[in-house]
Amino acid sequence: MAQILTTPRAVAPRAARTRHYVMCPPTQFDVVYAINPWMDPTVAVDSVAARLQWQELHDTYLGLGHRVDLLDPVPGLPDMVFAANGAVSIGTRTYGAAFAFPQRQAEAHAHVDFLRGTGREVSRPAHVNEGEGDFLVLADVVLAGTGFRTSRDAHAEAAAALGRPVVSLDLVDPRFYHLDVALAVLDDGGGEAPADIAWFPGAFSRRSRRTLRRLFPGSWECSEADALAFGLNLVSDGWNVVLPREATDLASALVPRGYRPVPVALTEFVKGGGSVKCCTAELHR
């Protein structure tokens, strides 16, 4: 009875918008050093499985009607498959990355060369930052993580380089060392519906939790199990949400919010500490 009397919560009208992604084939992918708690160089990567899983993700994007450009893998850079970390691009502006660990620093040059080649104006950073690993772009704001990789000073630098305000968020759990493993943009707010996110509160400081609840009332707060399954490391086009297959509760929660979950298997990349979003850089409008 109670249920009949309850007014159903209005579901925002979801609409997919065609996206432009950049991916880097995993031909060099391996785990030969450990720079996050997920990496263990004694656990072998199955390179054939990695190649197939990456291809499935790539083909999923094409099947959804998106554009995917490829960045050439560079020998000696086994984490380059995690293309999201190389820069942040909005329109013709790009803010380059400056990686925290020496093992990844050379990746930034490959991204700069590629993005300059597309006619983008690239701002070289003075501060450590790991691109879309810690900067998540919404239509009128950029959410920025700090605590493990990207420095707080980079947040202001990014705001100036990209011409969009930045909201700083403090990450406190080393398992969620980048913002894109702790928070997902489901709808960037660039269309009819308001911006919408999913996030794991345990990854953030109390102050940042308050900030997120104020900015995104009614956002989806996922379980630790979904977050540990890399569920938040997802890519949404505003309707289709490509996410790791293991994040089953999150996938179920997306449906009544009006989204269409598209599960993929990316288990080999979890050995490097990444999943869907880490493998996908977006060139934002």
- Can 278 be counted among the known catalytic residues? yes
Strand partners, 184: 198
Q: Give bridge partners of residue 278 from the DSSP assignment.
A: none
- Among positions 3-22, residues that touch ligand ARG (CB under 6 A) are none
For 218, other C-beta atoms within 10 Å of its C-beta total: 9
Residue 127 a catalytic site member: no
Q: Judged by CB under 6 A, which stretch of 33-41, 206-214, 239-247, 250-258 contacts ligand ARG?
A: 33-41
Determine if 54 is a binding residue for ligand ARG (CB under 6 A): no
State the minimum distance, in angstroms, from the CB of residue 192 to ligand ARG: 29
| HSE of 91, CA atoms in CB hemisphere, 13 A | 7
> Per CB under 6 A, does 271 bind ligand ARG?
no
Nearer to ligand ARG among residue 193 and residue 232 (C-beta): 232
> Active-site residue among 155, 278, 279, 284?
278
In whole angstroms, the minimum distance from the beta carbon of 189 to ligand ARG comes to 21
CA–CA separation, 79 and 65 (whole Å): 27
Residue of minimal Cβ distance to ligand ARG: 278
| 175 contributes a contact to ligand ARG by CB under 6 A | no
Which parts of the chain are beta strand (E)? 20-23, 67-70, 87-90, 93-96, 121-123, 135-137, 142-146, 166-170, 183-187, 196-199, 220-221, 235-236, 240-244, 260-264, 281-284
Q: Judged by CB under 6 A, does residue 89 bind ligand ARG?
A: no
Q: Restricting to residues 140-169, which ones interact with ligand ARG according to CB under 6 A? A: none
Q: What is the rounded CA–CA span in Å between residue 154 and residue 199?
A: 22
